[in-house]
Amino acid sequence: MGTNRFMRYVELLRHTDNDGDQLTAEGIAAAEAIGRDRLHPPYVAFISTGAARATQMLEILRTAAHAEDVPISTVPALRSTIEDRWRKTAKTAGKGADLEALRAIDPELVDQESRVLGIALRSVIDALPQGGRALVVGHSPTNEAAVLGLTGSIIEPMAKGAGVLVVAEGAGTRVEPLAQRA
């Protein structure tokens, strides 16, 4: 997939399997497989939420993309400051619940956080050059909330290692499935 010079792209991924704030052996192997099969370089930015598991995955993906000269940046605003509230709401909603189910339990959480996380994702896009592509690794359900805040679209909950492509053209944005590499 080529890039259009008038567009900007963000591949937004959820980190792979973890134990606490570190990837497990399975998470490392899954990140390596993503690096072999699903990346769409070249990237002008690699962005982490600041969580060690997200940064660890980005290090693996950056190496796979042969882009060790591109630094990994941290955008803490892509990580919720009220993760315990998200966990509590998600636990109440049940495993695999989407944002609508979470919103039914705590509408203020989903609406407020979607706005804040959407602004953070917009700042990533705005920092990219025309035609630029960033790889961002974050968390669920905050990745989904960022997409909602930015595009107004509710996406399915991201499994570990899954992701979407956010495409910005001018002031408009849309979300697309993240295709396998051709």
9-46 pLDDT tens trace: 999 999 999 999 999 999 999 999 999 999 999 999 99
Q: What is the pLDDT at residue 2?
A: 53
Q: What is the pLDDT at residue 76?
A: 96
Pick the closest to residue 42 from 91, 17, 9 (CA basis). 9
User: Residue 85 phi/psi, 5° resolution?
Assistant: -70, -40
d(CA 6, CA 28): 35
Pick the closest to residue 160 from 181, 141, 134 (CA basis). 141
Residues in contact with 78: Cβ distance below 8 Å, sequence separation at least 6, in sequence order: 47, 49, 117, 120, 121, 124, 136, 138, 142, 146
Q: Please say whether the beta carbons of 165 and 158 come within 8 A.
A: no
Q: What is the pLDDT at residue 179?
A: 77
Q: Which CATH superfamily is domain 7-163 in?
A: Phosphoglycerate mutase-like (3.40.50.1240)
**52: how many CB neighbours lie within 10 A of its CB?**
14
Rg (CA), the chain: 15
Global confidence as pTM: 0.94
All residue ranges of the chain with pLDDT < 50 are: 1
Q: What is the pLDDT at residue 5?
A: 57
